[in-house]
Structure 1
């Protein structure tokens, strides 16, 4: 196998695996977010609630 053929084969393999690597981070059911200043996450109600100071 020549160097050019090996390089072409390796490049084709990398390009064919690229979409699989990009989709590995997707598919989560929940998104992370933070509450606004002056509020905190309440696990029971699953919402941001105002904090008392």
Structure 2
């Protein structure tokens, strides 16, 4: 029982580190803007959406 608990604790402690070390993880997150705004790809910020 003690061995299983120890292994479970080690797994829980190491899980976030292993997830970040994944080679497929590029560190980018999806971003969304509020309604009426759109993402400006050059600056990476939300800007008001213009209508024509």
Q: Normalised by the size of structure 1, how large is the TM-score?
A: 0.52
> Any stretches of 5+ residues in structure 1 without a counterpart?
1-6
The 5 Å alignment of 1:8-19 reads: 8-19=2-13
Structure 2 equivalent of residue 49 of structure 1:
47
What secondary structure, in the 3-state scheme, does the structure 2 residue paired with 1:45 have?
A: coil
RMSD: 2.6
> Any stretches of 5+ residues in structure 2 without a counterpart?
none
Deviation at 1:26, TM superposition (A): 4.7
Deviation at 1:30, TM superposition (A): 3.6
Q: Normalised by the size of structure 2, how large is the TM-score?
A: 0.52
Q: How many residues align?
A: 47
| Higher helix proportion | 1
Which of 1 and 2 has greater Rg? 1
